[in-house]
Chain A
């Protein structure tokens, strides 16, 4: 096991810079997820850690050792590929043994390690099969098994679940988490799926356009996003945003929406926002904080026309218009507004966010 450290790492392909001076410290045994939309540089970053791409600038340290000039095969890391990259001509057992054979690990130990990992991953019955005789989920497990038998310093996962169907993905997600709890090897995991990132990570690294937007534990990112990008990317359905103006009303502040609706800002936030009075800002509120009428502190009730009703069972999603802007609300399935009606909704202002529309940063 080892820690991984990225110092001002950048990567350019010809004249196109895809990763911009990334700094990232990953502690020994930590599970870090790089998440972001496609083309954000997350996979390139992972490939640089793996040694498959060379950084154009900066330093990568694994276990305290500078590895910029160390080849992939000498880094002692194990990568699991999105396409699994299993060798079609080899059986499951041969695939899993491949790395060990090249390292000339004694036969007895190879068999022993494969047996143990196969047992953990429920592959024991499949060892003599060829990859084309396996289902997607089984192939994925073999790919993980091939990485696990090597007992590497660091595990690297490149979107390992994206080729699986939704149900299997949820199952394998839990399996990966369970495995990491059993053998806490340092893990860097790349995905475009924010749910995967939230559920798996000790810390999530949100990337956008080759830069790190925010690093933090899943709940911190959810509740205290640093930027509009993170606020919109983490959470499903995404956060609602409204154009607004911050005004002073007596000794309190109010968010004034486009149609003049004034929403009282909780007193606790007065000091934080005081410097922005009079500015055109963006007001953000997650769907679960727009609910049917509820008595809570710092709640503001508004009337909103309902456009679409989506019952989900445990909750109902409402697509409504607030101050002319489309918004999503999560309401109790027991309350049943109909499309075309005007519903009275409660806004939980204690969870509000104000964003600077120019910089995209959360105030």
Chain B
């Protein structure tokens, strides 16, 4: 096959990427610089208004007034995404390590268990948490039954329940990459460390963790990116009381009918995630050197 014809082979893949990734991304960025049409969609002229909206509100007399409410939503979203990532890491690393230490048959069963939630719709799974956490739910019921509390604890509709939902949804994305990294470690490395006077704690801190780090970094990005834009858990478990970027974007395209602002928010999320990606891959390259 000639060098010109080899392009034909990758053409389908390029087409798919072009239609489903580059084009929507381009549209999102383009829309963010347009003016909102009150009936949905966008119209001319091109403007930076959508981005100004992050920090300023247009008053009745058309003057810009500083308003931090959207910025706070963005900051809280980032904060919750970081918290989710850290909790997933703290929970996911021991789980992955535990699975690696099992026999091959048990590993397969445990890995299947980790991926099991993927088989059930996220919406349904998230609703289940409402059933568990609400005032008359399983958790409060069990605590009351055990005589620990008499009045139901406010488990639902706060940052804690949002965090719980996010961690629950994204934990497998942390466990799997760490597992695949740990699985490749030569068991002799651990034995050699024991031989070199290391205690179990020292083995974990000095050998397992440094070797697991690439997997942990991959997992962190896989958790952070979708957690930042997630709107199911915040909406359902947060009760929509406290907005996060995901819900805010969704609102702009539905009830608020402000497509440019929604597009601008999406662009910001994309930029934040891409920045994290770039920093990460830079760091990974440095470490490899």
Interface residues of A (CB under 8 A from B): 50-52, 71-74, 77-79, 81-83, 85, 87-89, 98-99, 102-103, 146, 150
Contact = CB atoms under 8 A, between A and B. Distances in A.
B94 interface: no
A98 B196 contact: yes
A278 B199 CA distance: 65
Interface in B25-47: none
B197 A85 contact: no
A102 B202 contact: yes
17 contacts: A51-B195, A52-B194, A71-B194, A72-B194, A73-B199, A77-B195, A79-B195, A81-B188, A81-B191, A82-B188, A87-B207, A88-B211, A98-B198, A99-B198, A102-B197, A103-B197, A150-B196
Nearest to B196: A99
A67 B116 CA distance: 46
A87 to B, nearest CB: 7
B61 interface: no
A73 B194 contact: yes
A72 to B, nearest CB: 4
Nearest to B189: A85
Interface string B201-226: 01000110011000000000000000
B191 A85 contact: yes
A79 B190 CA distance: 12
A85 B206 contact: no
Contacts, number: 55
Contacts of B192: 79, 81, 85
B197 A99 contact: yes
Nearest to A102: B197
A83 B188 CA distance: 8
B105 interface: no
Nearest to B186: A83
**Residue among B193, B199, B287 facing the most chain A CB atoms (10 A cut-off):** B193
Most buried by B among A82, A88, A103: A88
Contacts of A99: 196-198
Give chain B's interface secondary structure class: helix
Given A50-B195, A98-B193, A99-B198, 7 more contacts: A51-B195, A78-B195, A81-B192, A83-B188, A88-B211, A89-B211, A150-B196
B189 A87 contact: yes
Interface of B: 186, 188-189, 191-199, 202, 206-207, 210-211, 287
A284 B199 CA distance: 53
A60 to B, nearest CB: 15
Shortest 3 CB-CB distances between A and B: which pairs? A99-B196, A85-B192, A85-B188
Contacts of A79: 191-192, 195
Contacts of A98: 193, 196, 198, 206
Contacts of A78: 195
Nearest to A89: B210
A150 B197 CA distance: 10
A50 B199 CA distance: 15
A54 to B, nearest CB: 13
A103 B197 CA distance: 7
A102 B196 contact: yes
Contact of A85 (B186, B198, B199, B202): B186
A36 B206 CA distance: 36
Contacts of B191: 52, 72, 79, 81, 85
Nearest to A132: B288
A85 B191 CA distance: 9
B127 to A, nearest CB: 44
A77 B192 CA distance: 11
B196 A73 contact: yes
Contacts of B198: 73, 98-99, 102
Contacts of B199: 73
A77 B189 CA distance: 16
A250 to B, nearest CB: 63
A103 B195 CA distance: 12
Nearest to A53: B191
Contact of B195 (A73, A82, A87, A89): A73
A193 to B, nearest CB: 20
Contacts of A71: 194
Contacts of B207: 87
Nearest to B194: A72
Contacts of A83: 186, 188
Name the residue among A77, A89, A103 with the largest chain B CB count within 10 angstroms: A89
A78 to B, nearest CB: 7
Nearest to B207: A87
Contacts of A85: 186, 188-189, 191-192
Contacts of B202: 102
A81 B192 CA distance: 8
Contacts of B189: 85, 87
Nearest to A101: B206
Contacts of B211: 88-89
A51 B196 CA distance: 12
B178 to A, nearest CB: 16
A306 to B, nearest CB: 48
Contacts of A150: 196
Contacts of B287: 89
A73 B197 contact: yes
Contacts of A146: 196
Contacts of A52: 191, 194-195
Nearest to A99: B196
B193 to A, nearest CB: 7
Nearest to B202: A102
